[in-house]
Structure 1
Amino acid sequence: MFGFSIYLNQPLTNSKQVYIEQMAAQGFQGIFTSLQIPEENSNEYKTYLTSLGSVAQANHLDLMVDISLESLSKAGFSLTNLEQVKAVGVTGLRIDGGIDNQKIAELSQTIRVGLNASTITEEDVRELQNYQADFNKIEAWHNYYPRPETGISAEFFSQKNAWLKQLGLKTVAFVPGDENLRQPLFEGLPTLEDHRRVTPLAGALDLFQMQTDSVYIGDEGLSQRAREQFLMYQEEQKILLFAEEVQSGYEQWVIRSHVNRKDVARDVFRSEQARLWGIKHIKAENCVKRVRGSITMDNQNYGRYLGELQIAKRDLAADKKVNVIGKICHDDLPLLQHLNSAQEIEIRKNKKRIEE
């Protein structure tokens, strides 16, 4: 499952509402927001949350709200009146502090509860069990980290998720957006430090490989380009890549769908259907070093491999039998590690280059 974030620092503008509607239409299923961001004005939280909840309900979206006991009270809500909270469209509470396990267990009987994945302990789990918490409504939500160099490591994340999975808990984590990065640092909101500058879909696929059930966009913005990548992956399980510098005469073979061979090569993506195109002649040209992301086609010097189309997953030496005919744009290079057995991809021209 994919979700995204909307914050309560201002009234719900028309542009934000349109963004929410677009994200819902493109397969995103949940919104995350917070009542405890110090640089924002909590005086208007109740009004803003009510507006956000209304739009979430209209678009059939879950709404998870990050709270502490103090921040919830400041916003004019109370844990003793959950019906009031649920009435504005809130479907879950992510508990960050100030609420004991007995109360959390009680909350889980009537609303989805997100616990801090980084701080939950075995003792917490035993207490929740003793208080008869409904573990079907409890999830483990990792933090995001606005400050560079403070995001957690992939090793720690994997270890933590493995333990949470043993407990039967669903896990949720964040990747940064690529537009409208959140103030005041504007450095992205990833769970893993490795993802701070990574294309959002690549970060999300990394998290799924590490036993993450749901991935949310931490920042408020996803570019149209990124949304197209998420939409294609959700609807068709295809990975959308953007290419640039495709040489004239080769576009018909590059800008299209491809399927990776089932026997995955270590060094390259091999288009399964390329040699079925019946290409009769390709002269040797631009036989240069194949840097990571290079799109190549085997020329007439390669005999029966003539016409095979590949994408280099690592830097490779020049080969007089292989023409370099284009390259995957830099932002999409992290997606190459997810080109697994029989993975279908679609290559399009790089949007940024087209717009320029």
Structure 2
Amino acid sequence: MLGISIYPYKEKMAETIAYIDLAAKYGFGRVFTNLLMIDKGEEKQVITVLKTAIQHARKRNMEVILDLNPAVFDQLNISYHDLSFFKEMGATGIRLDSSFDGLVESLITFDLTDLDLEVNISNDTYYLENVLSYQPNKKRIIGCHNFYPQRFTGLDYDYFIKCSEKYKKLGLRTAAFVNSHEASHGPHPYTDGLCTLEFHRDLPITLQAKHFIATGLIDDIIIANAFASEDEIKALSQLLTNQLQFDVVFSEGTTALEKEIVLEHQHFNRGDINSYSIRSTFVKLNYQTSDLPANNTVETVTLGDVTVGNNRFGQYKGELNIVKQEMPNGKGEKNLVAKIKSDELFLIPYVKPWTKFQFREANHDE
């Protein structure tokens, strides 16, 4: 699922409402917002602003998660034994940026409001195991990473993987944040982009999302800052979120049939892998009687090249390969039909045995 973030700026209410409508138009299904760091004396104003925005999102059938911590409960004089205040605001869940003691979290999952409990998964602790030891309603628990406004403070990749795998194995629906390069607003006065992974901070927003999709560890991808452009939202909405989808640039002279082989099939890597190429072999079964003449049979193929076996290749005619390392094509049995965009080459190693993947033609302006 895709999501956006909104923040309680009274002077930007009209823009916030329009932003929710835009996201809903493109199929986004959730909203992240927060009640953290409300200045004393401004609680009523902030809550009024948020309630208006949240209820508008609910009219668009979007989930809304409110980010909280134990201090917010104290500041608003709300008991964690009764979450009706947040339910009346329109929220479908609350996120705990910092934790209680485990027992409280388990009790929250049985609250009569039926709100989801979202836990912070940007930590490598035994927090969730502690919560689970108190026998919560596990169906009501979901997880979400943090985002980081300060450059060079986002999560390291290996740490992100370790944390995400841990919580995913415990059965949580997971979420993480990507950074819009058109947005400038977040929950804090200072922000140099908002993202979960530091590596993502300057990448195009769709490439950030593709990376999360490739890991197979993140279910929901949320734009952390507001307000992303319509172009960014539309581009995210056009991604496949259930599998990796490579953007390719076709070679000059690639035929319509070759493009069909690339674009119009569900591809998957063979289980018996090798270090030279990713092999989508089942596609060839559709083209055993087709004419696939030699076309752009370069002497050497390199990383990211997409090839299709031609008439010279016997039983391998029609097989599609993604090249993982340079190798010869001296017999001219493979047609070089396309290249994966250079900024997506780092995604190739995410194609494991039996991994499903697809292609789409890159826009000419990319």
- Cα pair 1:175 1:204 within 8 Å, conserved: no
In structure 2, the partner of 1:279 is 291
Cα deviation, 1:37-77, whole Å, max 9, x if unaligned, reads 799xx775323311221122112222111123555677x68
Matching residue of 2:193: 187
Q: CA separation of 1:160/1:243 partners in 2, compared to 1, >3 Å: closer, same or farther?
A: closer
Q: Could you tell me which residue of structure 2 aligns to residue 113 of structure 1?
A: 117
CA-based RMSD: 3.9
Whether 1:297 aligns to 2:308 is yes
Q: Does 1:137 align with 2:140?
A: yes
Give the match for residue 341 of structure 1. Answer: 354
Alpha-carbon distance in 1 for matches of 2:280, 2:99: 54
Deviation at residue 299 of structure 1 after TM alignment: 4.9
Structure 1 gaps of 5+ residues are: none
Correspondence for 1:250: 255
Tell me which residue corresponds to 1:93: 94
TM-score, normalised to structure 1, is 0.74
Structure 1 residues 159 and 278: alpha-carbon distance in aligned structure 2, compared to 1, 3 A threshold: same
Instruction: Determine if contact 2:122/2:145 at 8 Å carries over to the other structure.
Output: yes
Indicate conservation of the 8 Å contact 1:241/1:347, yes or no: yes
Give matches, 1:202-281, under 5 Å: 202-208=210-216, 210=217, 212=218, 214-220=220-226, 221=228, 222-230=232-240, 233=241, 237=242, 239-254=244-259, 256-260=263-267, 263-264=270-271, 265-266=273-274, 267-270=277-280, 272-274=282-284, 275-276=287-288, 278-281=290-293
What is the deviation of 1:88? Answer: 1.9
CA distance in 2, matches of 1:126, 1:147: 30
1:144 to partner: Cα distance: 2.1
Q: 1:173 touches 1:207 (CA, 8 Å); kept in 2?
A: no
Q: Classify 1:117/1:338 alpha carbon distance in 2 versus 1 (closer, same or farther; 3 Å).
A: closer
User: What percentage of aligned pairs have identical amino acids?
Assistant: 18
3-state SS of 1:258 partner: coil
Structure-2 separation of matches of 1:297 and 1:165:
36
Q: What's the CA shift for 1:181?
A: 4.4
Q: Is the 8 A contact 2:54 2:64 kept in 1?
A: yes
Deviation of residue 269 (structure 1)?
4.0
Distance in structure 1 (CA, Å) of the matches to 2:192 and 2:149: 8
TM-score, normalisation: structure 2: 0.73
Distance change (3 Å), C-alpha of 1:279 and 1:87: same
The equivalent of 1:51 in structure 2 is 52
Aligned length: 336
Query: Once the two structures are superposed, what CA deviation does each residue of 1:144-180 show, in whole Å capped at 9, x if it has no partner?
Result: 23334333334434444455467x4625231414553
